[in-house]
Each structure stands twice: as C-alpha cells, then as structure tokens.
Amino acid sequence: MIIHMSTTLQQTMDQYQAAFDGEHRQIDVSSEQVEECIELFSEYLLHFSDLFQESEEYEEGSMDEWEAALESYVEHLFDGDTEHVPDLGSMPLDVLDAEHLRDFLGWFLLRIPGMDSLEVEAFGSILRDWNDYVFEKKYIDAEQHADFLEVLDEMQSEAVRVTKAAHLLLHYVRMGGGVSPRLRGKTFSNFIEGHARIVRLEKMQDCCVLWLEFDNNFEGKTTADSPTIGPIRLHRNMKDYLLAGDVLDIELGFRGDQWIIVDIGPVYPASIYMETDLFDPPQKIT
C-alpha cells in the first residue's frame, strides 16, 4: 500500500466532510453533527492536546502557519465569532495517535456542558467513519487504522456509559441525594472535592455503595490505614453505569456519620486517569 505521507490532518477532515456531504455517507448521522464533531476535535487538538507543544519540531514555515491559526482563533473568540472553525494548519496526519482519540472521547467531550450520551455516541461513530475513510484513501496504513479502531471501539461505549452515569448522578443530587427533607438542613462538618477514583463498588439489591480515593491530600475523616472515603450510598440504578476505576469530579460533605454527594461533575472511564507510575498523561486543564 502506498501511503500519502504529505497529507495534513486538516486536509483529511476537510475532504471527509466534503465527501460525507457528497457520495460518502456510511453512517446514520447528520451533516451538522459531522461538522460539530470535526470542530470540537480540532479545538481539542489545537488547545488541549500535546500536539501544539510538539509542533516546535516542525519546519519554521509550518510553525508560522500554526501560530497564525492560533492567533486567528483567539481573535475570533474575543470578537464573539463562535462560528470560527479551528484550523490545524499544516500539522501532518502521522502525528496523530490513538491516545488523542482516547482523550477526546473519554475526557474532552465529557467536559462540555449539555453533552449527552446520544451526541457522544454519534461523535464516536463519526470518528470511526473518518478512520475508515482515511484508510481507504491510503492516508494511513493498516496498523494505524487498527490502532485507531481499537481505541474507538473501547472509548465510544465507555464514553456513552460514563455520560449516562454523570447525568444520573446529577439528577440524584438534585433530588436530594437520598437524604430526607428533614435532614437536609443539617450543617456539614467537613468537605472534600476533586477527582476521586472508585476503588470499591458493591452492587446491592436496593442500592449501590461505593468507596472513593481522592487524588489530593486530605486530612479529614480518613487515616493512613484507611485512605478511602465511604461508604457512599447511591440509587440502585447506578450499579448499571459505574465501574470500579471510574473517576468522578465530585464534592462530598460529611454530616452525622456519613459522606453525602454535594455536587457532581463529569465521570471519566478508568483508562483516562491511570496510576501515575503507569502513565504520564499530558497536563489537563481542570
């Protein structure tokens, strides 16, 4: 197979979008969803991935185009032009790896306010279709296509699952978090917030109980012998959507003798936040 090494990532996205509006329409999504997916993926790559820092290794002309694209994007943001599409300039396609797809589906999309599981599933399908398209056009080889597909298969279902989990948790908190109205007015004696990993999960008949371990130091109700916080009782439906290893953006309050969820943000699959001795992820804006 002859691979087109000079093809840029931006070119493949532009060509795919044009082909989707024309003869290439293999999946049941709208042109508007394809456009939104490409815009968001470009925004992630441009502003939140490690590719911009690595672009210092490119030729001077390429770097100038990259900086111009970034400057133009920021100017449009300040001008209130939200329709501006981030331009990846001359970034070559071969700098993209499977972990960028993992981070986009399993981290970036989940942080967008209002993003629901149907949109996440649609964007995963679009990226799978784009992967097939660039392979058919010989822009990537079979190994890279397989690497992309493996991550997309995993992360599409995982991202859909944790998106549903986050929405259910938010509803649970808004409905009082399982606390009776009579007890809701009692003062909390302690709080903790941050990213917390589910280290233990028990699925009981009438509820779901979990224990969390935060990524920040906490000197509250935990000890060196028992670094986890819990048990935290949830509605029994949560047992179908949460897994041990998932990471919650969460705030807990301690009242009486139990921890109660005060606020909840995104839920991330375990593969996004790995143990630090196993994985050194790009720094994320939190």
pLDDT tens across 139-181, in order?
Answer: 999 999 999 999 999 999 999 999 999 999 998 888 766 555 5
CA distances from 153 to 98, 102, 185, 247, 270 (A): 11, 10, 45, 20, 15
DSSP assignment of 36-58: HHHHHHHHHHHHTSSHHHHGGGS
d(CA 97, CA 42): 14
Q: Tell me which architecture the domain covering 178-268 has in CATH.
A: Beta Barrel (2.40)
pTM more than 0.75 = yes
pLDDT classification of 71: cutoffs 50, 70, 90: low
Q: Which of 24-33, 64-73, 212-221 has the highest mean pLDDT?
A: 24-33
Query: Tens digits of per-residue pLDDT, 79-107?
Result: 555 455 677 878 889 899 999 999 999 99
Question: What are the residue ranges spanned by the domains of the chain?
Answer: 9-170, 178-268
% of the chain residues with pLDDT over 90? 46
What's the Cα-to-Cα distance from 113 to each of 43, 194, 197, 205, 243, rounded to whole Å? 15, 18, 22, 32, 23
Vertex 109 angle, CA 250 and 283, to 5°: 70
The mean per-residue pLDDT over the stretch 215-243 comes to 71
Give CA torsion, residues 64, 70, 73, 74, to 10 deg: -120
The residue type found at 249 is D
